[in-house]
């Protein structure tokens, strides 16, 4: 094994230390021997003579070696070896060759342990050479004389033994040092590993503490989010009521004046009817926007919702022109409209596209002081183009790239001449892109030459689907194939909700459940979603699959519908404000003949007046009674005969829900037809819930364990969001939960 330089140096140092310690011990021992030897010789010879010199020489050399050991250890070792060797040779000189073996071997043994292998060889040659000279020159011994050869042979053997011992000692020291170094390195590594382990443990303790803190903060944030969600639901319910009520009045009265002017007895001037028409159209448009805003907050979606349908572009343009013409021409501008027909039907959200055109035309009106605003519509290949141009201030090229960013304005100073928030173009771009189109602007930035905004929408050729009661209701054509899903039953709200929330599917509505099997085979449907209307006869999804004769998965989806909520409340009809005249009159006609006396109970006198005017405009001659509180309505029901009750749910003190409960508990009014007319919506977020909310899935071919576990995992992943308001607090009744927008029992 090759030794490292540092190991060899350390081994030599260790050997030197061992020899130094051994030399000191042997020197003291030999001093004692020399002293005893000297005393013995004095006793033997009884006088001083030369025979006393060997122990004296040995003592002097040993004392000199001890004195030099700390300052010159190498010289002390040489003095020790020379002293013992010279003493042995001098003793042989005085006593003769007979004592040579003892003297030579004693000297070699006394110095062998203290010398290195090479020094042992040199020392053996020194002793052997000195004895050889004494024997040949002084004692006149022959070269082969046993007295000469035998001591020399014994000295050679002992010198060899000492040399091997010195080599073994050096190897042992080297092995010991290597072992020490290895053990030291191992200890250092273990210490380093222990230090890293301690550091890792400290880091784990810190991470565990942070994780506990994060879990606590997460739990706190989750509770706060649930509370905020519940407050938001209550806020949306209140905002829905506060916004829909005045809008319902505006829409309702405008509808009565515009569509039924004869109900007022005297004909209105044509100019008045034109203004009322504008009020009616704009209020309907505003009501649609309000519903969309409420949908955004209710469904927690991060993008705008689109409800595509097949529309005629000319109709959208005409409605937009009718809304904007008076505003543009009222500023003294010329409003030119160019529609290059024919135009193919377009698959789009008509309200959203109309909103884009209104934004663009209103911007053109705001930034144009004189000249004209022009709307041009034409079709090129399979794209519908709409361009709004003006002769206003124009837009610099540097501003055009930022124009469609939210809150960006060409003039952002406080002293700017034109008002606005900078959101119109950003919203317009989002609407256009959601339709798969694009919007851009072209302008040279010169005043008087204005700007031109271009809108391009794709034209979808797949509009109506053949088959009575079967209609495609999905959005724009996908870039790739989308799975087809049947929606069984007539439910416009469910249709609107599914198309908005699940845009990745091609939805086909089947109005008649008897045609579901034919539609499933014709369009290779992935599954069938059965709405509340079609679930009236069968509750279990397997019963639905059997009744519909479907061999595809059937999903029973009891999302809130007017009929379902009415059934839950125990009333005959559930109408959401604003209520159109035809819907209200049609609801009363559906209740059967013999309906004459109608009681309207609502705390808003304006709503009562509107509903009364709608009823009085009918040729059936309804007698209308009014009550503005639930207590007043109950009193009139006890005194008078009422054929049908129109009831609002949100009223002070006694609300509509409690009034329904009292009427159903009274045998005299338990069968009274009731139609709810309210601003509250149909879903849980608006405060109404059904006690039997469930989702059932039926597979005609059954489910494997893996598929069942996958479905179960998907359901469990939604459990945390199924009840954002948390469990019902003790002491709260059904009416309080419904009023606050929280389900009374049962999760979805």
Q: Is residue 735, in this structure, part of any structural domain at all?
A: no
- Tell me how far apart the terminal alpha carbons of the chain are, to the nearest angstrom: 80
Helix (H, G, I), strand (E, B) or coil at 223: helix
Lowest mean pLDDT among 200-209, 222-231, 690-699, 726-735: 726-735
Which of these three, 148, 182, 216, is where a domain ends?
182
Flag whether pLDDT at 113 surpasses 90.
no
pLDDT in tens, 395-409: 877 777 777 775 555
639 and 495 inside one domain: no
Mean pLDDT in residue range 338-344: 88
- The span from the CA of 222 to the CA of 212, in Å, is 15
pLDDT tier at 455 (50, 70, 90 boundaries)?
very high
The conformation of residue 4, written as its DSSP 8-state character, comes to P
Q: Is residue 283, in this structure, part of any structural domain at all?
A: no
Q: Is residue 217, in this structure, part of any structural domain at all?
A: no
| Domain of 407, in residue numbers | 309-411+420-458
pLDDT in tens, 40-71: 777 887 767 777 888 888 888 888 888 887 78
Give me the torsion for CA of 270, 275, 279, 282, rounded to 10°. 110
Mean pLDDT in residue range 339-344: 88
- The span from the CA of 230 to the CA of 728, in Å, is 12
For residue 375, what is the domain's CATH number? 3.30.565.10
pLDDT in tens, 533-567: 565 544 444 555 566 667 778 887 766 567 777 77
Q: Is residue 298, in this structure, part of any structural domain at all?
A: no
CA-based nearest residue to 353, from 447, 434, 273, 294: 434
For residue 620, what is the domain's CATH number? 3.40.50.2300
Q: On the CB side of 1, how many CA atoms lie within 13 Å of its CA? A: 9
Helix (H, G, I), strand (E, B) or coil at 667: coil
The conformation of residue 298, written as its DSSP 8-state character, comes to H
pLDDT tier at 154 (50, 70, 90 boundaries)?
confident
Lowest mean pLDDT among 62-76, 387-401, 461-475: 461-475
Q: Is residue 287, in this structure, part of any structural domain at all?
A: no
Mean pLDDT in residue range 440-450: 79
pLDDT tier at 148 (50, 70, 90 boundaries)?
confident
DSSP strand pairing (383-390 vs 372-380) = antiparallel
Please state whether the predicted TM-score (pTM) of the whole model is above 0.85.
no
522 and 430 inside one domain: no
For residue 477, what is the domain's CATH number? 3.40.50
Size (the chain), residues: 748
CA-based nearest residue to 361, from 322, 396, 398, 397: 322
Q: Is residue 476, in this structure, part of any structural domain at all?
A: yes
639 and 614 inside one domain: yes
Q: Is residue 480, in this structure, part of any structural domain at all?
A: yes
pLDDT tier at 684 (50, 70, 90 boundaries)?
very low
12 and 110 inside one domain: yes
- The span from the CA of 711 to the CA of 720, in Å, is 16
Residue 487 contacts residue 531 (beta carbons within 8 Å)? yes
pLDDT of residue 409: 58
| Domain count along the chain | 4
Of 49-58, 258-267, 657-666, the range with the highest mean pLDDT is 657-666
Please provide the average confidence, as pLDDT, over all residues in the chain. 75
Give the residue with greater pLDDT, 338 vs 650: 338
Flag whether pLDDT at 166 surpasses 80.
no
pLDDT of residue 124: 84
Q: Is the peptide bond before 666 cis (omega within 30 degrees of 0)?
A: no
Angle of the 53-68 helix axis to the 5-45 helix axis, nearest 10? 150
453 and 476 inside one domain: no
Mean pLDDT in residue range 470-494: 61
Mean pLDDT in residue range 89-102: 80
Give the pair of three-digit tokens for residue 283: 């209020």
DSSP strand pairing (346-348 vs 309-311) = antiparallel
434 and 378 inside one domain: yes
pLDDT of residue 197: 92
Give the residue with greater pLDDT, 514 vs 590: 590
376 and 439 inside one domain: yes
Residue 605 contacts residue 628 (beta carbons within 8 Å)? yes
Q: Is residue 475, in this structure, part of any structural domain at all?
A: yes
595 and 619 inside one domain: yes
442 and 543 inside one domain: no
Lowest mean pLDDT among 316-330, 402-416, 513-527, 637-651: 402-416
Mean pLDDT in residue range 374-403: 85
548 and 576 inside one domain: no
555 and 569 inside one domain: no
pLDDT of residue 376: 93
Burial class (CB in 10 A: 0-12, 13-18, 19+), 636: middle
Of 67-81, 550-564, 710-724, the range with the highest mean pLDDT is 67-81
Mean pLDDT in residue range 382-399: 86
pLDDT of residue 377: 94
Helix (H, G, I), strand (E, B) or coil at 375: strand
384 and 483 inside one domain: no
pLDDT tier at 34 (50, 70, 90 boundaries)?
confident
Mean pLDDT in residue range 207-235: 84
């Amino acid at each position: 094994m090759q030794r490292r330089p540092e190991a060899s140096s350390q081994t030599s140092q260790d050997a030197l230390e061992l020899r130094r310690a051994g030399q000191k011990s042997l020197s003291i021992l030999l001093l004692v021997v020399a002293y005893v030897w000297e005393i013995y010789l004095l006793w033997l010879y009884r006088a001083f003579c030369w025979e006393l010199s060997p122990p004296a020489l040995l003592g002097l050399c040993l004392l000199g070696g001890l004195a030099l050991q700390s300052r010159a250890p190498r010289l002390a070792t040489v003095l020790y070896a020379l002293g013992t060797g010279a003493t042995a040779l001098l003793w042989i000189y005085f006593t003769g060759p007979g004592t040579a073996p003892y003297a030579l071997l004693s000297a070699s043994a006394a110095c062998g342990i203290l010398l290195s292998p090479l020094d042992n060889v040199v020392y053996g040659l020194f002793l052997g050479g000195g004895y050889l000279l004494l024997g040949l020159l002084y004692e006149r011994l022959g070269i082969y004389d046993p007295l000469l050869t035998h001591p020399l042979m014994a000295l050679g053997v002992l010198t060899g033994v000492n040399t091997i011992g010195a080599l073994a000692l050096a190897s042992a020291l080297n092995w010991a040092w290597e072992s020490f170094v290895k053990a030291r390195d191992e200890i250092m590594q273990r210490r380093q590993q222990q230090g890293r382990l301690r550091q890792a443990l400290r880091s784990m303790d810190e991470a565990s503490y942070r994780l506990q803190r994060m879990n606590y903060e997460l739990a706190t944030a989750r509770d706060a989010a649930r509370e905020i969600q519940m407050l938001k639901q209550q806020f949306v319910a209140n905002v829905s009521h506060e916004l829909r009520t005045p809008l319902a009045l505006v829409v309702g009265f405008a509808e009565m004046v515009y569509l039924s002017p004869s109900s007022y007895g005297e004909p209105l001037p044509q100019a008045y009817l034109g203004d009322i028409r504008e009020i009616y159209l704009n209020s309907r448009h505003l009501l649609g926007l309000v519903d969309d805003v409420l949908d955004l907050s209710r469904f927690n979606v991060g993008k705008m919702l689109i409800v595509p349908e097949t529309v005629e572009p000319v109709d959208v343009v005409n409605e937009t022109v009718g809304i904007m013409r008076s505003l543009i021409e009222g500023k003294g501008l010329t409003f030119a409209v160019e529609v290059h027909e024919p135009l193919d039907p377009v698959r789009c959200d008509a309200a959203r596209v109309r909103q884009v055109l209104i934004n663009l035309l209103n911007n053109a009106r705001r930034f144009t002081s004189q000249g004209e605003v022009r709307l041009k519509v034409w079709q090129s290949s399979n794209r519908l183009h709409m361009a709004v141009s003006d002769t206003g201030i124009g837009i610099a090229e540097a501003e055009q790239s930022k124009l469609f960013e939210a809150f960006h304005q060409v003039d952002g100073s406080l002293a700017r001449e034109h008002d606005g928030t900078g959101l119109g173009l950003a919203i317009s771009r989002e609407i256009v892109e959601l339709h798969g189109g694009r919007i851009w602007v072209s302008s040279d930035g010169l005043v008087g030459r204005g700007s031109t905004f271009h809108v391009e929408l794709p034209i979808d050729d797949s509009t109506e689907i053949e088959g009575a009661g079967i209609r495609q209701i999905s959005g724009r054509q996908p870039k790739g194939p989308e799975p087809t899903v049947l929606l069984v039953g007539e439910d416009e709200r469910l249709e609107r909700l599914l198309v908005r929330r699940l845009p990745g599917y091609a939805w086909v509505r089947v109005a008649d459940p008897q045609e579901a099997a034919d539609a499933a085979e014709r369009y290779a449907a992935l599954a069938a979603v059965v709405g509340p209307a079609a679930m009236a006869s069968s509750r279990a999804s397997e019963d639905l699959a059997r009744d519909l004769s479907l061999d595809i998965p059937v999903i029973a989806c009891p999302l809130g519908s007017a009929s379902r909520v009415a059934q839950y409340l125990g009333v005959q009809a559930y109408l959401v404000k604003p209520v159109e005249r035809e819907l209200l009159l049609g609801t009363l006609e559906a209740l059967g003949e013999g309906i004459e006396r109608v009681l309207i109970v609502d705390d808003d006198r304006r709503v009562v007046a509107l509903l009364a005017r709608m009823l009085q405009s009918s040729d059936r001659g309804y007698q209308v009674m009014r009550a503005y509180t639930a207590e007043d309505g109950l009193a009139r029901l006890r005194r008078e005969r009422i054929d049908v009750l129109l009831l609002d749910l949100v009223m002070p003190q006694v609300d509509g829900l409690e009034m329904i409960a009292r009427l159903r508990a009274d045998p005299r009014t338990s069968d009274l037809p009731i139609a709810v007319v309210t601003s509250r919506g149909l879903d849980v977020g608006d405060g109404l819930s059904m006690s039997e909310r469930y989702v059932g899935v039926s597979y005609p071919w059954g489910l494997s364990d893996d598929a069942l576990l996958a479905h179960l995992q998907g359901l469990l992943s939604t459990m945390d969001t199924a009840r954002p308001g948390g469990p019902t607090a003790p002491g709260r009744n059904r009416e309080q939960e419904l009023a606050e927008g929280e389900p009374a029992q049962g999760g979805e």
